[in-house]
Structure 1
Amino acid sequence: EVAAPFSEASTEEMEDEEVVQRELRWEPVPIQAAQLFDAASGVNVFKRASRDIVAALIDVLGNKDYFIKEYKMILAERLLSKVDDDIDDETRILELLKLRFGANSLRDCEVMLKDMADSKRIVANIRNLARPRGGLGAAGLDRDFSAVILSELFWPPLFEGACTTPEAVDSALQAFGSQYKALKAPRTLHWKPHLGVVDLELCFGDDEEAKEFTVSVAQAMVISQFEQRLTWRANDLAAAAGIAADQIAEKAAIWVNSGILRKRTDKVTREVTYELVEDPAEQQERPNACTRPDLAVMSQEQLMEANMKVYESYVMGMVTNLESLPLQKIHNMLKMFVLEPVYDKTIEELEAFLA
């Protein structure tokens, strides 16, 4: 008779303890996940979203137009980083999206895929034209050389830049350009070699297996300098590779992360040097390190920042001449006086830029 109340009390205490532990383990729902949570019914709709991932992404991003812009940038990055001509997967996905959004919404993406197919055909034609002229076919156009000819108006903004290319690559570009001009007159090509992709095989001994990398031209130029010397100071390496000194750390990072190069910083002078790791046994790739080639396409945030810089001089002039101005007045004056390029930003975008 006495034991029963005690057992009931212990059961209630255990239930209370479980509730406390469950409350302590509670974590807030991420913002993206919260948008997929039906507050009215209290039911998470992830299962329903998994059946229609496009609708789920549109809910997260906010609207259809933003989804299409992001898809366009992802597609461009995938196409420009390809080292083969296989675009079947990209074509299949685009056809499915055209059924969802309509062909007009994805016209730019369709032109991008057409550019890839046309480039493959043009490269094959030019290689065939060059083959009978022994010297040009052998030295000017290597069988592994390929080019992508872009319709610039239909592609998202690409990163601008410059880099030095080897003489063999320069001769191939000149040979291809002259053949293209003859084939497609009066059209000419404006090369962007810094956006190119290179397949490399690095060998560190006769008995060692070659390591394969797919990198940008600038990254390839960095590692190629170590055929001459095993150690380079950062500034000297940048000059030899034809890269800006403030970009050498970014371009060399892929080789440092892969264990091919060792980066050292002098504690006194803060001078940075790069050393080639010749022993493959010591070449340890860093965990979770980025070992991919440079991005070619600007993100939405980078594009917005670049566009807003155009209006920076106007804002600086207003603040200098009129001292302090409320944000709304700056926004209205930009809309009124900036006609080229047309100011079409929202006040929220202006506030984010000036913050």
Structure 2
Amino acid sequence: MAANVLAKQVQNKWNNSFARLNRAEPGITGLLAFSEAWRIATDFLYPRDLNDPTPRKEYSMQEVRASFEFLSRAKMLPLLMENFLEDMRKQQHLIERDINEYMAEWEAADTPDFMARLIYRLEKWYKEWSPIPELGSILLSAYTLAFQTHLYSSFPPSFSRGFKQLIASSFSFVNAPCPPWALPPEPHPSLPPGPARQDVFLWSACESLGLLDRYESLIASVCYEYIEAHVMETCAKRWHESMLTCLRGWMTDRVVPWMVMPYARGARSADEARQMLQGVGSRFDYHMCKTLCDLRLQELFDIIIEYPDSMPALQDLKECLSRVDQRNELVKSLRRANRKRLLHPGADTNSIIDQYKNTMNALRFLDPPGVLLYKVADPIRRYLRERPDTIRSIVTYLVGDGEGGEGLGNENENEPIQPLQQRQADDYNDPNWEPEPIDAGPDFRTNKPTDVISTLVSIYDSKDLFVKELQVLLAQRLLAVTDGNYEKERRNIEILKVRFGEAALQVCEVMLRDMTDSRRIDQHIQAQKQMPLHPTIVSRHFWPPLQTSMFNMPGQFKEIQEAYAKEFHLFKPDKKLHWLPHLGTISLDIELQDRTVSAEVPPLEAAIIEHFSTKDTWDVADLATEMKIERAAALKAVLTWVDLGVLKEEDTGLYKLLEVAEEASSSSNPVARQAAMEDTSSVLTVQQQEQEQMKVYWKFIEGMLTNLGSLSLARIQSMLKLAPGYDRTIEQLADFMEAARREGHVTVRDGVWRLQQ
């Protein structure tokens, strides 16, 4: 029963299919017509071998269309399509053979012409096998998809590299003579005759094969690399001119014309092409800005060194940073460069301060809120705080005693001098108030942008350290003035009073007044009695400690001092002079038998040669004993006169006065003598004052360790705070104790200090 039902169903289907194929024609006439139409259609669509010299059979297009219409009415087009695609699959080996041949030639020569020939050959295969448009878009789309699928599966791994080389070479003939390989081997049917863009043929072939969509990222990478190479070649180390405008002009002239075919194909007008290129053009401009930004970040340390001459490079970097988010990279790169090239013992403190100053100016230009400056400057500030000569270097700049003689106090004469700026609380009622930037750290407000001087001084917690150093430096400068012109120092004091306040500079004003009073007093005494001595008279309690010495001037020098002191006492009965004979200089003429030697020397050298007026030969040890000075100081003074040809060494440590000149000795070194005189400082530095004061506190420490046996550093610090005037930190105490340990006075074990037994 079931077999009969199945047989009946098969019979019905056969009858329906036969009727559909026979088209209700008598007998099998319709079936024969269908067979002929199928033969014509399949033979017409069959993928031919381009390498087969046999000419292709010509078909009447009217007959072909009629065959396809017949098959369509019979609903056999899907079967015809499947048959065609299967035939194409079977013929795919013909295309693979050409691909392998051209790729082998390309790998052997490594030139783009073989890749171009392969592209044109594949385009010819595609057009040779392609069905005519009259057959419908469905068949054409199915064919294109199948052809490209088979094609991509046939490409070897090296095809991407070769195709990238071909695309890269296309930049070389934009607006240039067309290379032979860029033209197809035969006239291109899709282009009108006449001149055209040289790369139209290549891009048209790539579009036909679907390579533009499949390798879109590869094509974009070629343009990225082209942009990177141009930026590195034209912009590296060119900081004194803006490069961003030039780069965008180059993009318009060279890159945009190249972009038209791969990214604006099919545009029917210039406006339509411009609209199609807007998105990809923005991406390429972004990449150009990123490449320039990366380059400038690598060079930023040197750009800051060249500031302000490098302002054009900073302007470009600022614009790039607004487009490219590279702020974190800027901080990391600059901190790394500072750590490698700046923050190490080999760098001079003045150089570090100069770079810090330029860094402040440059980063404030790039980021006015100051977030970048805070993140970059913090390691520099901490490193400067650890350097012992930082305060003195900053003060030297403040009073204009650095190279060039101007310093930071006068770096912008058009702006008024401002007081040191302190941290201020936010005024939320200010209509111009802005919130902190999103990338600001928790301590950012402590580094709000201020003037350069305030920022440098804020490295330390207290400005008292600067005031002490200012007093020492001003004292040295005042004592070095020989012509009585103190206007520069007076101007410096006025500037510093604005910076630090009136109270902090009172001592400096007293020192300046002492110098003018000293000159007036000397003029009065010289009017009463002409004397060759012109001393500088200062107030002991208002000046930093001066260098001290135990020796007294001998002979005529002592007489001159006593005479001057007598006249001074007559003029100032309530005051008394305390001489510091080792400071200053003396101009003297030494009259010998055959010559007169003129020299300007320190008082110690003058005292030494005065002793030779009483005896021609002296031993250095005897001179040191006579003058109550160290032997090394006496020997140094004697050698000064040896260099001048006044003394001669008779024996070891024994020197004789040369009344008659001898041949000049090769050991004479006036340059070294002048340098030695310049190195002598009359005022104790802040560090020397601290060392002297710590020697006083050493007596307290020695008494503690003697009575208590052993103490920790924290316990010593707490007990020293009871001593009058003690204001050292525990870190400074640790440095002092370590110095005492090196000298053999104390020992330390497990953090406990003991006297050396």
Q: Which amino acid aligns with 2:634?
A: I
Is 1:343 equivalent to 2:726 in the alignment? yes
Distance 1:145 1:98, change over 3 A: same
1:196, distance to aligned residue in structure 2 (A): 3.3
Q: What secondary structure sits across from 1:174 in the alignment?
A: helix
- 1:248 corresponds to which of 634, 641, 645: 634
Indicate if the aligned counterparts of 1:222 and 1:251 stay in contact, CA closer than 8 A: yes
State the shift of 1:121 in Å: 1.0
Secondary structure at 1:199 match in 2 = strand
Give the aligned partner of residue 342 of structure 2: 29
What SS does the aligned partner of 1:157 have?
Answer: coil
8 Å Cα contact 1:163/1:217 also seen in 2: no
User: Are 2:73 and 1:73 aligned?
Assistant: no
- Which one of 297, 305, 311 corresponds to residue 697 of structure 2? 311
The match for 1:197 is 585
State the shift of 1:28 in Å.
2.6
Distance 1:251 1:146 in 2: 22
Q: Please identify, of 111-120 and 178-187, the stretch whose mean Cα deviation from structure 2 is larger.
A: 178-187
Q: Where do 1:77-116 residues align within 5 Å?
A: 77-116=476-515
Larger Rg: 2
Give the deviation of 1:203 after TM superposition.
8.3
Counterpart in 1 of 2:291? none
Distance 1:251-1:305 versus aligned 2 partners, 3 A rule:
farther
Counterpart CA distance in 1 for 2:641 and 2:552 is 18
Matches within 5 A, 1:114-263: 114-130=513-529, 141-142=530-531, 144-200=532-588, 212-213=599-600, 215-225=601-611, 233-239=619-625, 243-249=629-635, 251=637
Closer, same or farther in 2 for the Cα pair 1:66/1:248, shift >3 Å? same
| 1:313-339 per-position Cα deviation (integer Å, ceiling 9, x unaligned) | 221222223222110011112223x3x
Compared with structure 1, are the counterparts of its residues 62 and 228 closer, same or farther at alpha carbon in structure 2 (3 Å cutoff)? farther
Structure 1 CA distance for aligned equivalents of residues 653 and 549 of structure 2: 23
**Residue type at the aligned position of 2:688:** Q
Query: 1:150-197 CA deviation, whole Å, 9 max, x = no partner?
Result: 111110011221223143222222222222222222222222222233
SS of match in other structure, 2:586: strand
- Secondary structure of 1:325's partner? strand
Match of 1:320 in 2: 706
Secondary structure of the 2:587 match is: strand
Matched, 1:41 2:41: no
Contact 2:552 2:558 in 1 (8 A): no
Distance 2:472 2:576 in 1: 25
Contact 1:72-1:156 within 8 A present in 2 as well: yes
| In structure 1, C-alpha distance between the alignment counterparts of 2:592 and 2:457, rounded to whole Å | 49
Q: 2:648, 2:471 → 1: CA distance?
A: 37
Q: How far off is 1:281 after superposition? A: 7.3
**CA distance in structure 1 between the partners assigned to 2:525 and 2:474 by the alignment:** 27
Structure richer in helix, relative to its length? 2
For structure 2, which runs of at least 5 residues remain unmatched after alignment? 1-105, 113-164, 170-221, 223-227, 233-294, 300-332, 364-370, 381-406, 413-450, 739-757
Quote the Cα distance in structure 1 between the aligned partners of 2:457 and 2:628. Answer: 43
The aligned counterpart of 2:715 is 329
Deviations 1:100-140 (A, max 9, x none): 2222211111111111111111111122233xxxxxxxxxx
Asked if the contact 2:717/2:733 (under 8 Å) is kept, the reply is yes
Alpha-carbon distance, 1:147 to partner: 1.8
TM-fit CA distance, 1:293: 6.3
Q: More displaced, 74-83 or 277-286?
A: 277-286
| Secondary structure in structure 2 of the residue aligned to 1:308 | helix
| CA positional deviation for 1:206 | 7.0
Local SS of the residue matching 1:222: helix
- Structure 1 counterpart of 2:470, one-letter code: Y
Q: Residue 341 of structure 2: SS of its match in structure 1?
A: coil
Distance 1:227 1:153, change over 3 A: same
Are residues 1:353 and 2:736 paired?
yes
Give me the CA root mean square deviation: 4.5
The 2-side partners of 1:252 and 1:82 are apart by 27
Matched residue count: 324
Q: What stretches of structure 1 of length at least 5 have no aligned partner?
A: 131-140
Name the structure, 1 or 2, with higher relative contact order (CA <8 Å, separation 6+).
1
Name the CA distance, whole Å, in 1 between partners of 2:646 and 2:688.
30
The separation in 1 between residues aligned to 2:455 and 2:635, in whole angstroms, is: 38
Alpha-carbon distance change, 230 to 89 in structure 1, aligned in 2, over 3 angstroms: farther
Secondary structure of the structure 2 residue equivalent to 1:173:
helix
Inter-CA distance 64–342: structure 2 relative to 1 (3 Å threshold)? closer
